[in-house]
């Protein structure tokens, strides 16, 4: 596989006629900005074929958890266990990254320089519904926001909201829930309407219209990123199980957009052939899938995926670094030996037991990860994404009559005048 092949896969969204979709999204966003609730109601009727009886806010009782308690007891237990593990991960992040109190040091003149972290005031989490209502995404977005200290968390999800999504919102203590989907939901959260107070940041996955809307409102609000269909790369040697590898590849291809992408790289020809056979066997055994869903999986496997025989594992790592996948699994005898060589991946799953499904649901880190090669410059959602960082510059205890401070005055004035900014120079010299 060449660099051109990698670029082709990572640019697979270019076939979607984005210009036309961007124009459509812009029309929606601007109308919601102008008309508020009226536009949201109209677009929900048009796109979701849904009319509200009493507005689009959904009341939750996060004290009694009626939706959550209606779930099967086994599912309640699993969601609670997932909640605890995800919360623990982000609590550890806050502690290790000093997000709760920031950091500072004393400079040469005794001045204090550092950073103050402050939780974002309000956040919207977008949760897709449809054929695959992402209950887990509620946990993966709301929990790091709560751990970071966000005061107000609202949830947006297409109507009628799936009962499991509402249950997860109760469990996570989401403050407000609105049965709105698509670009109109993103615009409503960004600009506010008569019924919805605008937020400071919007996070969470969505279809192409949701992603384009997030792109258009960025600047008015913060966003987590512009991400697309799921990706998985697997590096394996002869010690790997073809059955496990095939199952993990298919776990990503089943998302169903037809644009999911997987790469399997191995230095074992035997394993590659066995994996190819196993993929076909497991696709046929997908009894719960419709013919259309099976056809979509096969299309993604053929158009946007590859099984690659490499000369060695070093070559496999090189290809993965070009691909910059959302998820990377390492099925090798010594997987930790490869970790430091990986430059770009949203999440690395180390060893055969660490399948991507663990990360999707219960391991701890958020499953909201960058895609389409953007792991080269962006990272998965964490508690740190829900705080702002304010620089602290404190010379209040410094004696401005000292030679050292006078040297700073001269340095600042010299640099300012080199830029033609006389006012900056004089402001500093006023401290003389």
In the predicted structure, residue 3 carries a pLDDT above the cut 90: no
pLDDT at 17: 67
Residue burial 56-89, b: 16+ Cβ < 10 Å; e: rest: bebebeeeebebbeebeeeebeebeebbebbbeb
* Catalytic (active site) residue 424: no
Q: Report how far apart, in Å, the C-alpha atoms of 321 and of each of 210, 217, 326, 336 are.
A: 28, 31, 11, 16
Catalytic residue among 93, 326, 329, 356: 326
pLDDT at 195: 96
CB 68 within 8 A of CB 170: yes
Q: Which of 2-11, 20-29, 138-147, 213-222 has the lowest mean pLDDT?
A: 2-11
In the predicted structure, residue 112 carries a pLDDT above the cut 90: yes
Percent of the residues in the chain that have a pLDDT greater than 90, as a whole number: 86
Q: Which of 51-55, 138-142, 172-176, 346-350 has the lowest mean pLDDT?
A: 51-55
Residue 2 has, within 13 A of its CA and on its CB side, a CA count of 3
Catalytic residue among 90, 231, 254, 327: 327
* Catalytic (active site) residue 92: no
Residue 205, helix vs strand vs coil: coil
Average pLDDT of the chain, as a whole number: 94
- Which residues lie below 8 Å from residue 353, measured CB to CB, with a gap of 6+? none
Q: Residue 10: which pLDDT band, with cuts at 50, 70 and 90?
A: low
- Residue ranges of domains in the chain, CATH in brackets: 57-224+383-387 (3.40.50.1980), 231-376 (3.40.50.1980), 400-432 (no CATH)
- pLDDT tens by residue, 381-432: 999 999 999 999 999 999 999 999 999 999 999 999 999 999 999 999 999 8
Residue 191, helix vs strand vs coil: helix
Q: Residue 13: which pLDDT band, with cuts at 50, 70 and 90?
A: low
Question: What's the token pair of residue 218?
Answer: 């960025």
Q: Could you tell me where the beta strands, DSSP code E, fall in 259-326? A: 261-266, 306-309
In the predicted structure, residue 267 carries a pLDDT above the cut 70: yes
pLDDT at 20: 86
- pLDDT tens by residue, 46-67: 999 999 988 899 999 888 999 9
Percent of the residues in the chain that have a pLDDT greater than 70, as a whole number: 96
pLDDT at 192: 98
Dist. CA 27–CA 30, nearest whole Å: 5
């Amino acid at each position: 596989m060449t660099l051109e092949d990698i670029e082709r896969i990572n640019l697979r969204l270019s076939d979607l006629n984005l210009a036309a979709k961007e124009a459509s999204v812009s029309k929606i966003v601007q109308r919601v900005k102008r008309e508020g609730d009226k536009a949201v109601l109209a677009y929900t009727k048009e796109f979701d074929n849904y009319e509200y009886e009493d507005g689009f806010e959904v009341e939750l009782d996060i004290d009694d958890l009626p939706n959550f308690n209606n779930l099967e007891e086994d599912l309640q237990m699993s969601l609670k266990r997932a909640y605890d593990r995800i919360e623990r991960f982000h609590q550890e992040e806050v502690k290790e990254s000093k997000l709760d109190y920031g950091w500072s040091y004393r400079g040469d003149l005794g001045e204090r320089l550092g950073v103050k972290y402050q939780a974002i005031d309000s956040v919207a989490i977008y949760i897709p519904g449809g054929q695959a209502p992402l209950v887990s995404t509620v946990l993966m977005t709301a929990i790091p926001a709560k751990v970071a200290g966000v005061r107000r968390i609202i949830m947006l999800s297409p109507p009628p909201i799936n009962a499991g999504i509402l249950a997860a919102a109760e469990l996570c203590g989401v403050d407000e829930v609105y049965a709105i989907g698509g670009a109109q939901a993103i615009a409503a959260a960004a600009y506010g309407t008569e019924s919805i107070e605008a937020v400071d940041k919007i996070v969470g996955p969505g279809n192409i219209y949701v992603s384009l809307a997030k792109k258009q409102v960025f600047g008015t609000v913060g966003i987590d990123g512009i991400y697309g269909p799921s990706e998985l790369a697997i590096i394996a040697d002869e010690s790997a199980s073809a059955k496990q590898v095939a199952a993990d590849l298919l776990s990503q291809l089943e998302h169903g957009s037809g644009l999911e992408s997987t790469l399997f790289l191995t230095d074992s020809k035997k394993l590659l052939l066995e994996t190819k056979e196993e993929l076909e066997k497991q696709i046929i055994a997908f009894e719960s899938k419709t013919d259309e869903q099976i056809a979509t999986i096969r299309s993604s496997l053929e158009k946007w995926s590859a099984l690659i025989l490499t000369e060695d594992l070093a070559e496999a790592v090189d290809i993965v670094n070009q691909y910059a996948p959302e998820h990377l699994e390492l099925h090798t005898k010594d997987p930790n030996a490869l970790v430091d060589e990986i430059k770009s991946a949203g999440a690395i799953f180390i060893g055969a037991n660490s399948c991507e499904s663990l990360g999707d649901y219960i391991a701890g880190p958020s499953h909201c990860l960058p895609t389409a090669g953007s792991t080269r410059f962006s990272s998965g959602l964490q508690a740190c994404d829900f705080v702002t960082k304010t620089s602290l510059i404190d010379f209040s205890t410094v004696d401005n009559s000292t030679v050292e401070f006078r040297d700073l005055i001269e340095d600042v004035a010299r640099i300012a005048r080199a830029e033609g900014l006389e006012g900056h120079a004089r402001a500093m010299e006023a401290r003389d």
